[in-house]
Amino acid sequence: MTDDPSIRELAEIPAVEVITRAAVMLMSATAEKLGLSDDDPDDSPHRDLDEARRLITALAGLVTASAEYLGPHAGPVRDGLKTLQLAFREASAAPDEPGHGPGEKYTGPVW
User: What digits encode the pLDDT tens for the residues 66-108?
Assistant: 999 999 999 999 999 999 999 999 999 999 999 999 999 999 9
pLDDT given at position 10: 80
Minimal CA–CA distance to 73: which of 21, 12, 9?
A: 21
7 has a pLDDT exceeding 80: no
Minimal CA–CA distance to 28: which of 94, 98, 81, 72?
A: 81
User: What digits encode the pLDDT tens for the residues 34-66?
Assistant: 999 999 998 999 999 999 999 999 999 999 999
User: What digits encode the pLDDT tens for the residues 16-41?
Assistant: 999 999 999 999 999 999 999 999 99
Which pTM value belongs to this model? 0.88
Can you say whether the dihedral through the CA atoms of 47, 50, 54, 59 is positive or negative? Answer: positive
Per this entry, what is the length of the chain? 111
Minimal CA–CA distance to 81: which of 27, 6, 39, 41?
A: 27
